[in-house]
Structure 1
Amino acid sequence: MVDVFDEVEEQLRSERYKSIALRVLPIVGGVLIVALVAALAVWGYQHFRSQAAAEASEKYAQAIEAFNSGKRDDAIRLWGEVGQGSSKAYKSLALQHLGGLKLADNKTAEAVKLFDEAAEAAPNNIIGDAARLKSAFALLDTAPFKDMEARLTPLTEEGRPYRAEAREALAFSKLMAGDLAGARSDFAVIGLMADAGEAARQRAEAAKALIDSGSAKALPATVKAAMALPPPVQMAPGAVPPGLAPQAAPQPTAPGAQ
């Protein structure tokens, strides 16, 4: 009789376990499916990023090669494609190249726009601050000091990768704005900065000497006057500047003539 009760109890226990399992199994299965989907999504995203970075790297290298070979239009096209991609580092670098070309063409506003886009796209300050500095240097001669201060001051903070260069740009901005005391103070700081290069220290010393001599007072007006000058006229070899009559070619002398 005891065996019968034990068998019945075992069957009841088995039924309870089976019932619990039937209730829990779908939940566990759902959790496992979600975890698997999440793992696959992470793997897929990493694979996508890796593939996108590889493609961007290849196109970026092709653009560099094209530009160095004199194929400017091909380089612009390739950098433009990289600049539309999803690889943040190569996107930022490509936009900086395009900005540099615009700056070389005297299209400052377009260059600054590209540099600012490059800074926003950058994955870190090493790339991003380089773009921000390029944008600031492009505006150095024309932008109001408040704009330059807003752009450059964050770049001078401790830990930023180009703080010495940003401090130098800020000093020149103050010099352009007529703040000679503030500029001299910044140049003095640059001379003491451990991360400032030797060339930067030499420029700082030269700028301080210029300020101390009193010659720096005329610098803003000189730069503004130079910026207002018309661009130089491009002439073919042997051509005559506008407004000047070409000189008559010398006539050949007859043989025996004195």
Structure 2
Amino acid sequence: MSELFNEVDEDLRREQLRKIWEKYSLLIILVAVLIIGGVGGWRIYSHFEAKKAAEAGAAFDRASELSEQNKPAEAEAAFTKLAAEAPGGYRTLARLRAAGEAAKRDAAAAVKLYDDLIADGSVGALEKDLARVRAGALLVETTPYDTLLAKLEPATTASGTYRHSARELLALAAWKANNAGETRKWVETLSNDPETPSSIRTRAEALQALLPPAAKS
């Protein structure tokens, strides 16, 4: 008897499947095609992205070689081209390197490139801080302290990767502006940060020794 019931159940299942297939066969085929196409498309996309990354890496190496060969104009052109065409990670790095090469011929042009990076919402905070510090290094000799403070202060936060360099530049700029109070503030900030590199700490101590006694009290 149970075998008869099983056979009936099996027939019912087959009939239900047949009706489902007749009703939804086109949809099922379409979904299957889309899944297969999606998997294939993703593999193609991944392949081309990997190829683009490899090509960008090779182009970056060639541009770096031009820089090492003391060919700043050619290196700058190569990095600029890479910045326009490369995938995101290489693009930002190439822009930083292009600005670095530009600094060898024209500090103002390099600062403009760094400022463009800082203003770009697609650039990460780490890269922006690096651009701030590099621009600050070019400007410290000629720029008023308050102007440099506005540019560099965002990079001086306690969690900033480049905070020590930014703080040192601001201490030096304040000293050049005869602003003993601001010089003292940045020197003490460097001294109180246990992660300040020894080379920067030594220069900060030397600068502190130049401050008038009232500023060190």
Q: Compute the TM-score of the two structures, normalised by the length of structure 2.
A: 0.75
Change (3 A) 1:110 1:44: farther
Taking the aligned partners of 1:155 and 1:70, their CA distance within structure 2 comes to 30
2:174 aligns with 174
Question: 1:189: Cα distance to partner?
Answer: 1.6
2:83 aligns with 83
User: Aligned AA for 2:175?
Assistant: L
Deviates more, 1:22-31 or 1:57-66: 22-31
Change (3 A) 1:128 1:31: farther
Question: 1:200: Cα distance to partner?
Answer: 0.5
User: Aligned AA for 1:110?
Assistant: A
Change (3 A) 1:196 1:10: closer
1:113 aligns with 112
2:154 aligns with 154
Change (3 A) 1:69 1:32: same
- The 8 Å contact of residues 89 and 121 in structure 1, kept in 2 or not, is answered as no
Question: 1:73: Cα distance to partner?
Answer: 4.0
- The 8 Å contact of residues 117 and 123 in structure 2, kept in 1 or not, is answered as no
1:212 aligns with 212
Taking the aligned partners of 2:185 and 2:163, their CA distance within structure 1 comes to 15
> Mind listing any 5+ residue stretches in structure 1 that lack a counterpart?
1-6, 215-258
Question: 1:213: Cα distance to partner?
Answer: 5.8
1:19 aligns with 19
Percentage of pairs with the same residue: 27
Cα RMSD after superposing both structures: 3.3
Question: 1:128: Cα distance to partner?
Answer: 4.0
- The 8 Å contact of residues 168 and 186 in structure 2, kept in 1 or not, is answered as yes
2:64 aligns with 64
**1:131 equivalent in alignment to 2:93:** no
Taking the aligned partners of 1:194 and 1:80, their CA distance within structure 2 comes to 38
Change (3 A) 1:51 1:187: same
**Greater gyration radius:** 1
Deviates more, 1:36-45 or 1:60-69: 36-45
Q: How does 1:34-49 map to 2 (within 5 A)?
A: 34-49=34-49
Taking the aligned partners of 1:51 and 1:42, their CA distance within structure 2 comes to 14
- The 8 Å contact of residues 96 and 131 in structure 1, kept in 2 or not, is answered as yes
Q: Compute the TM-score of the two structures, normalised by the length of structure 1.
A: 0.65
Question: 1:169: Cα distance to partner?
Answer: 2.1
Aligned length: 208
Taking the aligned partners of 1:16 and 1:183, their CA distance within structure 2 comes to 84
